[in-house]
Amino acid sequence: MVAMDEFHPSNRILMGPGPSDVHPRVLKAMATPLIGHLDPEFLRIMDDIKAMAQATFQTKNDLTFVVSAPGSAGMETVLVNLLEPGDHALICIHGVFGGRMKDIAERCGAEVSTVEAPWGEPINPDDVKAAVATHRPKVVAIVHAETSTGVLQPLEEISDIVHDAGALLVVDAVTSYCGTDLKVDDWGIDAVYSGTQKCLSAPPGLSPVSFSARAVEALDNRKTKVQSWFLDLTMVKNYWAGAKRAYHHTGPISAMYALREAYRLVLEEGLENRFKRHHDTHLLLKDGLEALGFTYLVDPSYRLPMLNAVKLPAGLDDASTRSRLLNEFNIEVGGGLGKFAGKLWRVGLMGESCDANHVNMLLSALKTITN
């Protein structure tokens, strides 16, 4: 075949639902020459990453590590390990990603029931209470930050309900992790997964996860093999910990270099400072977007700071405006997903993409386009 040219991408400003901009230190770390996946130096990198994952999840869970695949594989890792055929799973759905959890739980052979809320609203704890009383599920799964709607789901009351019913609480924290408070231990979360390409601002491709002692007990008491070999924690955990650090699959060396540096940046800033930056920048963006006629889908009390789901002003066309933003200003914002396709924008302020300069670039570009 004809040789292809070198690739020179445009210099995009990433303000969609992820990936977010990546700090030059992370890019530089990723370009470090490789070492082996069983090299003692690489095992130390894994230990470092585990410790920083624990710190950022605010957990002491020993089974805290990083799945060698994107956030969707983290979702599947959690469900496929905790569910066996015939188990009952209660899935809370208030957007695309709750629906995805239901699909995966069904593929695990679980009996699935759902609690739903209108897209743009959080799940009502009373509905969860009624459903766990009816179904006595093994697992209740809920999305903390619905990337499709911009809703921040309060978790503490639901956690109590789930544990009072003897079930395990599974939380999708793909978009909230490292951008708003997420207290895995204090809130009693039994299994949590996230992605690297949102508020952590590492490249996409990995999924940090953490499992409580109760979740590990459920895993140890399985009667059947986990249906996925690649995601089977009974094996993966021996690569991440334990006396013998056994080979399972080849770890993604370069992506782990990048993740280690991204975690260092998070901890240098400090979680509280980082959460405040996301909150403050969100308010700046909100004022600017509202002045241009955009309106928020979600009530302020449940609004995500890092994922701004906004309805377009009358007369502004979705596709052509996003296309102009991308082609004339190099700015990416996200369109609506699922039932919101064509009707909503999702403006991301995640990690390195969350600062006043990004907000000003976007607002200036929008003013130029709409004038």
Query: Does the footprint of a second copy cover residue 250 (CB under 8 A)?
Result: yes
- Within 207-226, the residues that bind a second copy by CB under 8 A are 225-226
Of 49 and 304, CB closest to a second copy: 49
Please pick, from the candidates 99, 160, 222, 252, the single residue that binds a second copy as defined by CB under 8 A.
252
Q: With binding defined as CB under 8 A, does residue 301 bind a second copy?
A: no
Task: Candidates 64, 68, 81, 194: give the one binding a second copy (CB under 8 A).
Answer: 68
Amino acid in the structure at residue 264: R
| Cα atoms in the Cβ-side hemisphere of radius 13 Å centred on 95 | 25
> Residue 91, interface with a second copy (CB under 8 A)?
no
* Minimum distance from residue 296 beta carbon to a second copy (Å): 23
Q: Does 179 bind a second copy (CB under 8 A)?
A: no
Q: Which is nearer to a second copy, 27 or 356 (CB)?
A: 27
Which residue lies nearer to a second copy by CB, 17 or 122?
17
Can you say whether residue 178 is alpha, beta or left, with left for phi > 0 and alpha for psi between -120 and 50 degrees? left
- Using the CB atoms, write b or e for 194-226: b if 16+ within 10 Å: bbbbbbbbbbbbbbbbbbbebbbebbeeeeeeb
Q: What is the distance between the alpha carbons of residues 51 and 23, in angstroms, rounded to a whole number?
A: 21
| Cα separations in angstroms, 168 against 81, 113, 162, 211 | 12, 15, 7, 10
Q: Output the smallest distance, CB 11 to a second copy, in A.
A: 7
Longest dimension (CA), the chain: 65
Q: Which two tokens stand for residue 106?
A: 């069904």
Question: What is the chain's Cα-based Rg?
Answer: 21
CB 305 within 8 A of CB 281: yes
Q: Which helix (H) or strand (E) covers residue 15, if one does?
A: strand 13-15
- Could you tell me where the DSSP H helices lie in the chain? 24-30, 40-57, 71-82, 96-107, 125-135, 156-164, 213-220, 233-240, 253-269, 271-291, 318-329, 356-370
Interaction with a second copy in 27-56: which residues (CB under 8 A)?
27-37, 39-42, 45, 48, 51-52, 55
**Closest approach of a second copy to the CB of residue 219, in Å:** 16
Nearer to a second copy (CB atom), residue 230 or residue 302? 230
> Between residues 63 and 67, which has the closer beta carbon with respect to a second copy?
67
C-beta of 49: minimal distance to a second copy in Å?
10
Instruction: State yes or no: residue 99 binds a second copy (CB under 8 A).
Output: no
The CA distance from 109 to 225, in Å, is 13
Please state the closest distance from residue 165 (CB atom) to a second copy, in A.
26
Nearer to a second copy, 132 or 219 (CB): 219
Helix (H, G, I), strand (E, B) or coil at 147: coil
* Residue with smaller CB distance to a second copy, 27 or 133: 27
Nearest-approach distance from CB 136 to a second copy, in angstroms: 25
Taking CB under 8 A as the criterion, the residue among 194, 197, 210, 281 binding a second copy is 197
CB 296 within 8 A of CB 151: no
Q: x/- string (CB under 8 A) for a second copy, residues 325-344?
A: -x-----x----x-------
Among 161, 168, 253, 359, binds a second copy (CB under 8 A): 253
Minimum CB separation from a second copy for residue 255, in Å? 6
Distances (CA, A) of 242 to 65, 214, 235, 238, 251: 13, 19, 11, 6, 16
Q: Are 181 and 131 in contact (CB under 8 A)?
A: no
Task: Tell me the closest approach of the beta carbon of residue 103 to a second copy, in angstroms.
Answer: 6
Least separation in angstroms between residue 17's CB and a second copy is 9
Quote the tokens at residue 245: 């650090």
Residue 64 engages a second copy in binding (rule: CB under 8 A)? no
Q: Which of 50, 88, 94, 100 binds a second copy (CB under 8 A)?
A: 100
